[in-house]
Structure 1
Amino acid sequence: MTYTVEVLVDDDLAVDAALVERAAQAVLTAEQVPAGCEVCIRITTDAELHRLNRDFRGVDAPTDVLSFADDGNSSQFVTAPNLPRYLGDIAISYDRVLVQAAEYGHSPARELAYLTVHGMLHLLGYDHERGPADEALMRAREEAVMTALGLPR
């Protein structure tokens, strides 16, 4: 299937944007999302994730990944029926990628892919914070996609 994944990387960050795109595409394919959907993923810093977390979630602390799903009601304008469905935006802290990769004992590439998968699943409605059953379901989907990417635990 064909999806549009735009990956924006802040200056001075040595990020494998192709891996981010591949991870996002893998989620969309695994979840059988209809072709033509679009998503934007920004790889940035702890400082920017801290600002976004504070401004949008009221949490005054940095975090590793934030997802901003487009519920279709964010615009006062009507979207033409033939336009692609915009799923939303994801922001990932590359600073957190490096720290967490070291903490968990795996490569930064695996951590970057994992956070991309995690954020994509949030855009699709998965939420590990709703309770143990939802957390188990989301973790299972994450592991399935990571395995398909060749990056299992």
Structure 2
Amino acid sequence: MSIEVLNEVGYPVSESELGQCARYVLEQMRVHPQAEMCIRLVDEDTMAVLHEKWMDLPGPTDVMSFPMDELRPGRPGEDPEEGVLGDIVLCPSVAERQASEAGHAPIEEMLLLTTHGILHLLGYDHAEPEDEKEMFELQRQLLLTFLAQRGRR
């Protein structure tokens, strides 16, 4: 898998850990091993522009996903599709505030947002209560299993 992390704001985060989390989630979701994706870390002004342009909502947000080839999770016994998964755009300063409010480390919030963004790239959504329950449970399982094994990598 090709996972590029572009830290456009110089935020002090382990770019390799974000990439490892993304790789773990993609592997667990049975995405083709040749799939490509990018994680961009941007400032609040850049995120606010993207948020308004694509979601018609004011101000910066924490994460946005921009799917490319509309790849979906692989199914057992089927060959997954090859292609470009897309881009995830994270705003570290928003994530840092959210982490503080939630009482955990900023890196944990960034890993959560990376997982969340990948699920959006794979077609998951949380607009409806049933979809939200499914997506957030999957997100929780993926993140917890990644965090549990990250010290062994």
RMSD: 1.3
Paired residue for 1:114, among 109, 112, 115? Answer: 112
Gaps (5+ residues) in structure 2?
A: 71-81, 149-153
Aligned mate of 1:136, from 109, 133, 136: 133
Report deviation, 1:11: 3.8
* 1:74-85 pair list within 5 angstroms: 85=83
Q: CA deviation at 1:8?
A: 0.1
1:39-76 Cα shifts (integer Å, max 9, x gaps): 0110111111101111222212210000001146xxxx
What are the equivalent positions in structure 2 for 1:4-153 lying under 5 Å apart?
Answer: 4-71=2-69, 85-129=83-127, 131-150=128-147
Task: Count residues with an aligned counterpart.
Answer: 137
One-letter code of the match for 1:150? L
Runs of 5+ consecutive residues of structure 1 not aligned to the other structure: 73-83
* Inter-partner Cα distance in structure 2 for 1:27 and 1:46: 26
Contact conserved, 2:9 with 2:43, CA < 8 A, in 1? no
- TM score, norm. by length of structure 2: 0.85
Query: Match of 1:149, SS?
Result: helix
Normalised by the length of structure 1, the TM-score is 0.85
The answer on whether the counterparts of 2:47 and 2:91 sit within 8 Å (CA) in structure 1 is yes
The residue identity in structure 2 corresponding to 1:103 is E
